[in-house]
Structure 1
Amino acid sequence: MLIGYARVSTREQETYLQIDALNKAGVEVIYQEKTSSVGSRPELQKLLASLSKGDCLVVYKMDRIARSLKDLLSILERVQAVGANIRSLTEPLDTSVPVGIFMVQVLGAVAQLERSIIRERTVAGQLAAYRRGVPLGRRKHATPPETVEKMRELYATGEYTYPAIGKVFGVHASTAKRLITGRSARKKMPVLGQYLDDDSAHM
């Protein structure tokens, strides 16, 4: 079955153009709504929930159904999971044919590249800030020695676990364990540390 979806962003706009194109394409059932792409889009959710094997979700343009590349890939995965397909009337995307499947793979590769670029820029910015002396990460709050001593006394009684002691003093169980045992916290900035180590190796 051909199932269509039409959306406009505001109530002042109309879906007539999309509806006409969907009808011309032979779409049998059409879900439509007037809402921003960042909204909940309840009609789209109803449509996706109704899909079954062999159905084809038809849209006028992909930006009518997805708010971002990540969102589009999520919808594509959901559609394909039930054995359905998706087709755009104005773009070369039709997962019922090989070239459409190839386009989905390309989109997936682009999304992966986008994530890598964002991560690289984020790390680069953090490294630059670190080298300028800007403090990174959560600010540490020193625990008074007398508080640590009380924690150890409670633990020594054998009646209190680390989580119980953490609740008493308002800290996480792992923090209570670290303070009681005297072990150091995990390595600071483990991700940035790799890049800093690489820099040192090339100096």
Structure 2
Amino acid sequence: MSVRHDLPPEAERGSVRRVTVVGEEILGRRCQEVTEFGTAELSALIDDMFLTMYVADGAGLAANQVDVDLRLFVYDCPDDDGIRHVGHIINPVLELPGPGSRRLVDASEGCLSVPGATMAVPRTDRAVVRGRDKDGNPLVIEGTGYFARCLQHEADHLEGHTYLSRLSKRDRKDALRQMEDRREDVFAQRAAKAENLGR
């Protein structure tokens, strides 16, 4: 997912990590639960994920997208009212509205692990994620609009799915073709952005 603003403090402390690309094994399996909270390693991982997300022009990033097999994602994403949501969640459990109160919205979606491709993906316009923060405190995040899409997209990653798995065979082929055409440009932009930040 992609959008961007000024750097949150986590990103100021972080280091850039390589973003995994669709086809890599870690993106295709369910991530492991985090069992140790409040560690320096967990804090450093979150800081690195924030900076990596920023350098790649993302609005969300899951741990397996930086080659770490843990149930964790970070986000810096606006909702449809323009309110910016910044944070992280560990061991998230996604809750979607029931069929009666559910509204599906088809909107364009990209993924940092499918560089250069965007496709329309149906998602519900509301989502709730329950989990913990890095110190183990309970968290409940509610999202609407674009932010709800971001929460669903990142929760999918932790189950071993990219948005490509929600597409028809034909659309998936189209997305992979877009990626082949544009990935080198995307990688060059990320490298330039990291250099500008002195990272």
The interval holding the TM-score normalised by the smaller chain is: under 0.3
Higher strand share: 2
Tell me which protein shows more helix as a share of its residues: 1
1 or 2 for the larger relative contact order (CA 8 Å, sep ≥6)? 2
Query: Which one has the largest radius of gyration?
Result: 1
TM-score by length of 2: 0.25
